[in-house]
Structure 1
Amino acid sequence: MDLGMVGLGRMGANMAERLVRGGHRVVGFDPGPAAREQAVARGIEAAASLRELVAALPAPRTVWLMVPAGAVVDSTLAELLPLLAPGDSVVDGGNSNYKDTMRRAAQLAGHGLHYVDSGTSGGVWGLKEGYSLMIGGDEAAVERLRPIFETLAPAADRGWGRVGPSGAGHFTKMVHNGIEYGLMQAYAEGFAIMGHKADFGLDLHQIAEIWRHGSVVRSWLLDLSSDALAKNPSLDGIAPYVEDSGEGRWTVAEAIDLNVSAPVITASLLERLRSRDKDSFADKLLAAMRNEFGGHAIRKE
């Protein structure tokens, strides 16, 4: 099956290569010439523009977007819209907000185009292991794209599925990432407690390896934690600064809108925000208050 891939960053290029290995023809476009050159070396045909990419695909066309969420998706769609024809499909495989996805699907439907959202998980390991795909959109459109999803997934019969109408794929991926925040925070806190128990001299990598087999807390995240601890047991050179890509915030906001209690996901998001405060006014005020009411010593900078 022929496919156009827009966005040849690490994730997009890896997905395109997996499709090529699976026997699909992929024409890719990226505004960066270096990214296009690297794609060609991986068996992906390169187009110099979106117009050239669309012209290289047979009808009905399928264009898969792997571009940053937000304004970039809208600007890419605005450029694509006059180039596509009724019956063509656009897949958004990025981490778009599901409300934006629903708006875009309605817009493209007015032009006779199918808009499919694919919440995509798997990270840098997806090329080898396959991707988890949570798909939203019209049933017929998703079914037509089945060969693509079956190739990208870990196996044709697992790791992917249509979860609902337009927006449902990105909504499910949003919640997936919120859960991920909580799991990561729990592992981080547990290993921090063990690391501070200095009198036991615990080998954290050894413990991670023990837990990986037979334990109820075994998981891929634990596997990755074990790998990280093997390479760098004391995590030297890594700043205690944790980014977030937005899905955790959206999950917490959705929980509030739906009156659903989500304390673990919320706390894990707040911990990420806290990690970025190198000069915490709140902590300084806490120290000042303790001094005021109890005469407790204040540590000077």
Structure 2
Amino acid sequence: MRLLARTPLAPLLLAPLLLSGAAFAQTAAPAPTPSPASAAPKGGPAGTGVSGATNPVVSSLAVTVGRAVGGGQLVTCPSKLSVSRQAVCIYSKQAAAQARTQIRTSLASRAAGEWKLSGQSGSLLVKNAAGQIGAYVLIAPLSAQESLLVVDAVNVAAAPRATAAPAGVVKGQPYLLGKDLVGVVNVVSLGAGKFRLNVPGETALTVTAGQKTAQRAGGNVDLPLAPVSDGKNLIFPLSGLRALGCTVTDAPKGVTITCGPDSVGVLPIVF
């Protein structure tokens, strides 16, 4: 793998998913190949081209990704890109479709599923040595034969938003607070542990804390798990969103909930 010293890419403009490929291609010409002595940035492990401050999982994955695409050039991640400080960005002289195939093949069983695509851009979740989701790869085309690859860690150790599990929750199952659903589901407290959930275009669903049976005009609906409440907030099981006609898909950090034409990214609570 030939990862070169990081090159600033401050002038780049972001596109809907990652950044504007045209702007990147016009403003970020590859830097000249440095001598072997300068191939590894100062402070990073010799021969890896990855900063020593980077998460070890990210470092290892970045090396694997770089090798999969036949080498690449480490670049400074654009400041407007929503990634962590430990993210690694790689410029590759390969078309996005070809790079995706080679990366997926190289990762083999480490990949958690397949690429999630939006046009030619996409994301791929990657498992760590323990078999848990530990990192992800993003890819965006810069031109017909150039791509930007982003490797970053998935923050699975986020601090819980509740200090204790409310009575009635099933440990190990993902839940959402009512406020997590803002933008896709309208949640209204009716008092006495009852809440009305409404998705535009769907019939409202009334749920009661501690009960798996919900009410909808015309009959009852059985939820996979009972919603609960801490006395004020609704704590709704992620699996129950199907009763509202919503879909849930994995995202690099958390999940994406889609209800009708609207979607929102959230990080569920697991008690």
TM-score for both structures, normalised by structure 1: 0.23
Determine which structure has the larger strand proportion and give its number.
Answer: 2
Q: Which has the higher contact order (CA 8 A, sep 6+)?
A: 2
TM-score for both structures, normalised by structure 2: 0.24
